[in-house]
Chain A
Amino acid sequence: MLAATVGNRRLVTAADAAAQAMGIAPGLALTDARALHPALAVAPADPVGDAAALVRLAAACGRYSPWTAPHGADGVWLDITGCAHLRGGEESLAAELVERLAGQGIAGRAAIADAPGAAWAVARCGNAQIAVVPPGGARAALAALPVMALRLDPVVAMELERLGLRRIGDLYDLPRSALAPRVGTVAMQRLDQALGAAPEPLSPLPPQPPRWVRRRFAEPIATPEALAAAMGGLLEPLCRRLAGERLGARRLVLRLYRVDGTSAAAAIGTARPSRDRRHLLRLLAERLVEIDPGLGIEDMVLAATAVEDLAAAQVKLPLSPRRERVIPEARGNVLPFLESQKTARQVARGMLAAEGRERDGTDPAELAALIDRLANRLGSAALCRLMPQESHLPERAARPAPALAPMARAGWDPERLRPVRLLPRPEPIEAVAPVPDDPPLFFRWRRRQHRVRRADGPERICGEWWRSAQAAAELRDYYHVEDEAGRRFWLFRAGLYRPYAPPRWFLHGLFA
């Protein structure tokens, strides 16, 4: 239930079905409503938020029609001329729309008619939740509806009622000249609009500016240099558009249409939103070499499918002379063509560059660009950092995290000695240990015998009982052993020593 302050009274502005069943309707004073039912959940009304939500709903209805507009406090108009066949007809379009709204928890009614006024009337005051008025049947459909369905002023509606005109059908045959001075021209205009005699244009929501660029070629192109140049030419206006809207692209899709009617697509993604032309060009060039141009490409579309806010960055003056990139021998011959469009300067500045690296800190944009290049080639799961995680189990103490994720605050305990290499799975070994809790004397791993000279331990690590009962039963006694050659291993015995069962030993890691 929503309540708002009108004048100096608090009125109920909206009530749900349960409240309405008890007799609480919008317009009732809040105190009266509370008297009817003391325990009411009342929330303050938020008309501004509601209006914004309605605009979003109208924008979401853009999947059905490009011409949508919010109306009033709780209505959306859609002009579905020419769109109905895409959804299998008008009836199924309306049914799908209502179902989708119901899925989001919004109770809705839909009506389709020739004119907006008729649709409004049938939706609000009609009987069915979904109604389709056949073309030309507006007159018949509206005849039985009350006069309020014509979106009239309450004063005018009351006047009409006083005159005994309760249904819209009553108005059809009355002479205009007699009615107009009584009820005003607006009512007549509304009637004409509902019947379709007068125009009522809808002003739709402003459409999203398209973030794609298209280029057609007079002659189909197939050489890598031409493709690369065309792609560079597409990226320029797109980056400028993104800069104008203060956005950065997270995902770019390049679609190439061949002369024989087929098409190929290449997509790149970035870890941080970017509109740096060089960086995006480099990422796209790698994908471009994998596409087969076939008989020739005649159409190219570059679209930014995912964008995020990106404020303009301050240009930094470099402290040390910038080192120049070495042009590699490229796969295909795409890259040299792109890089040689600028004047190629190759100067070896090893010492100055190394000194510059010592002095300056890391540029986060450069690091993000490197991560993008590596991730686009190796896969985004291939780049990670080892993040400390609070866990006793060694295999869970370091978990892979995305490369640019912020570091956890707590690090690893420096007192506990841990190996440099941890085997992905502990490997079973054969070990001989003299007494229950002493380290093994010798063990056999990967068909090689090791005699233990020195050992440290045991370090008991129990399973994490809060995760599962099976984990709680796990118990490991870890030993840090050194063999005769000086190699150091991390072994553990699984479980306590039992006199009737042979103990199971495993090798988990290798120390330095």
Chain B
Amino acid sequence: MAGNGGSEGLAALRRQLEALERAGRLASAVLPFGLAAIDTALPQGGLALGALHELAGAGPDAEDGAIAAAFLAGILARLAPPRPVLWCLAAGDLYGPGLAACGLAPERLILARAQSERGVLWAMEEGLRSAALGAVIGEVEALPSAASRRLQLAAEASGGTAFALRRWRNGERAARQRAAPNAAVTRWRVAALPGALIGGAPGIGRPRWHIELWRCRGGVPASWMVEACDATGHVTLAAELADRPEAPAFRPAFAG
């Protein structure tokens, strides 16, 4: 009995804490990942809609932004399916077929090319204010905390979801700017992992990613090894790599 009363009291205390953290805002809708491992780490069991999320690549992907874009495409494929999404960028190298393979249909994607990062941030805000979009993505290098606060407020007021995809021109700038604080509700880092072999056959198997949720408001940071998203945008947990030996694809006829 004491245990029962204790757990009820604990649940009530937890709810109070959540209400305090949200500071009186209403609970927002969520987009679950479909993976219990990830969903339990996020507050309210999924990616919060009506908020700003930050996504960056770790290591060499900080400059490429390929894995981050694919991960984001998988999320967008499942977020309010028929609604269009606005992708604001300054450098144009997104490739439609690659995004379509992650589940983001070409009729949903609207690209906005801005001349500078200020233009990208402005376009993101305009997109959030409109009720016509499902989500807004902006590729920025630096996300100052004032700008992120504005985006977060705009997202909360209108219910749209904003994603800030951070890409740097070189590793040095990445190291300097990546850890700066901002108002994003969740901050992710994705990196590449060697792919899984399919039945021991040579060739590239299913790509794998290392996803790290390193800052989460109301949740606990965690990291996972997942397989890349399939055509519907869902990621799945990867089996452990520990007991699988590395196998080269082919053996060269001569040494060296």
A residues touching B (Cβ–Cβ < 8 Å)?
Answer: 323-326, 328, 346, 348-358, 361-364, 366-367, 369-371, 373-374, 377-378, 382-388, 394, 397-398, 400, 403, 407, 411-414, 416-424, 434, 438-439, 441, 452-456, 480-482, 484-488, 509-512
A512 close to B67 (CB less than 8 A): yes
B residues touching A (Cβ–Cβ < 8 Å)?
Answer: 25-29, 49-50, 59-61, 64-67, 69-71, 73, 80, 82-84, 86, 92-102, 105-107, 109-115, 119, 122-123, 125-127, 129-134, 150, 153-154, 156-160, 191-195, 202-205, 207-209, 228, 231, 246, 248-250, 252-254
Complex CA gap A361/B81 in Å reads 10
Complex CA gap A417/B231 in Å reads 11
Q: Which residues of A contact B107 (CB under 8 A)?
A: 385, 407
Q: List 11 A-B contacts (CB under 8 A).
A: A326-B158, A348-B157, A350-B159, A370-B132, A388-B96, A394-B95, A421-B95, A422-B98, A486-B191, A510-B64, A512-B98
Q: Which residues of B contact A386 (CB under 8 A)?
A: 94-96, 106, 109, 111
Complex CA gap A454/B112 in Å reads 36
Q: A362-B83, A374-B112, A512-B102 are contacts. A351–B208 as well, Cβ < 8 Å? A: no
Min CB–CB distance B103 → chain A (angstroms): 11
B26 close to A350 (CB less than 8 A): yes
A486 close to B193 (CB less than 8 A): yes
Complex CA gap A371/B112 in Å reads 9
A511 close to B60 (CB less than 8 A): no
The residue of chain A having its C-beta at the shortest distance from the C-beta of B249 within the complex is A454
Q: A357-B80, A366-B131, A456-B203 are contacts. A509–B98 as well, Cβ < 8 Å? A: yes
B204 close to A387 (CB less than 8 A): no
Q: A412-B96, A412-B97 are contacts. A512–B106 as well, Cβ < 8 Å? A: no
Complex CA gap A456/B207 in Å reads 13
Min CB–CB distance B114 → chain A (angstroms): 6
B123 close to A374 (CB less than 8 A): yes
The residue of chain A having its C-beta at the shortest distance from the C-beta of B134 within the complex is A357
A486 close to B195 (CB less than 8 A): yes
Complex CA gap A407/B160 in Å reads 24
Q: Which residues of A contact B101 (CB under 8 A)?
A: 414, 417-418
Complex CA gap A511/B115 in Å reads 26
Q: Which residues of B contact A394 (CB under 8 A)?
A: 95, 97
Q: Which residues of B contact A416 (CB under 8 A)?
A: 97
The residue of chain B having its C-beta at the shortest distance from the C-beta of A325 within the complex is B129
Q: Which residues of A contact B115 (CB under 8 A)?
A: 378
Q: Which residues of A contact B131 (CB under 8 A)?
A: 323, 357, 363, 366
Min CB–CB distance A391 → chain B (angstroms): 11
A488 close to B204 (CB less than 8 A): yes
Complex CA gap A511/B98 in Å reads 8
Q: A403-B110, A455-B249 are contacts. A363–B71 as well, Cβ < 8 Å? A: no
Q: Which of B61, B101, B111, B228 gathers most chain A CB within 10 Å?
A: B101
Q: A354-B28, A420-B66, A441-B252 are contacts. A512–B228 as well, Cβ < 8 Å? A: yes
Beyond the given pairs A366-B131, A397-B97, 13 more chain A to chain B contacts, judged by CB atoms under 8 angstroms and listed by A's residue number, are A326-B129, A349-B157, A350-B28, A362-B83, A367-B133, A378-B112, A434-B254, A441-B252, A453-B246, A485-B60, A486-B195, A510-B64, A512-B102
Min CB–CB distance B243 → chain A (angstroms): 18
The residue of chain B having its C-beta at the shortest distance from the C-beta of A452 within the complex is B249
Q: Which residues of B contact A371 (CB under 8 A)?
A: 110
B110 close to A348 (CB less than 8 A): no
The residue of chain A having its C-beta at the shortest distance from the C-beta of B229 within the complex is A512
B250 close to A362 (CB less than 8 A): no
B132 close to A378 (CB less than 8 A): no
A348 close to B26 (CB less than 8 A): yes
The residue of chain B having its C-beta at the shortest distance from the C-beta of A432 within the complex is B256
Min CB–CB distance A426 → chain B (angstroms): 12
Complex CA gap A439/B109 in Å reads 34
Q: Which residues of B contact A453 (CB under 8 A)?
A: 194, 246, 248-249
- The contact of B60 among A364, A366, A387, A487, by CB within 8 Å, is A487
A378 close to B113 (CB less than 8 A): yes
Q: A378-B119, A385-B109, A488-B192 are contacts. A324–B114 as well, Cβ < 8 Å? A: no
A366 close to B73 (CB less than 8 A): no
The residue of chain B having its C-beta at the shortest distance from the C-beta of A326 within the complex is B157
Complex CA gap A512/B190 in Å reads 10
Min CB–CB distance A440 → chain B (angstroms): 11
- The contact of A424 among B92, B111, B134, B249, by CB within 8 Å, is B92
Q: Which of A370, A371, A387, A482 gathers most chain B CB within 10 Å?
A: A370
